[in-house]
Amino acid sequence: MAVGRAVRQLLAATADPEGQGLLLRGLEYQPRSLADLSAEDPTLAVALEGSLRLARIATAAAEVVRDHPHPHVRRAAAVLSARAHPLLAAAEAAG
């Protein structure tokens, strides 16, 4: 699997409300832990590592510019943080 496709798959996923991991598109009834995803495909492991780092950076950036005077900056930060949430929630559930 190409890294770009793996990243798109991860960003399209949602966090499992029961804390079991990620719900991938098309497999919404089969939560997948981050460890399982990393173990099954090395490309997905690379994409997951990079995506988690970017998710943490996006959340930190959103905190920094939360009170920025320009509404477009605040909105962009909020969107980035919202896109990062499912990955971060799945990582938190994993321990």
Per the model's pLDDT, the better-predicted residue between 19 and 95 turns out to be: 19
pLDDT above 70 covers a percentage of the chain that reads 96
Q: What is the pLDDT of residue 1?
A: 54
Which residue range forms the structural domain that includes residue 88? 3-94
* DSSP conformation letters of 12-77: H-EE-TTSS-EE-TT-TTS-B-HHHHHHH-HHHHHHHHHHHHHHHHHHHHHHHTTT-SSHHHHHHH
Per-residue pLDDT of 33-78, as tens digits, reads 777 777 777 877 887 788 888 888 888 888 888 888 888 988 888 8
Number of domains in the chain: 1
Q: What is the pLDDT of residue 16?
A: 77
| Cut 0.75: pTM above it | no
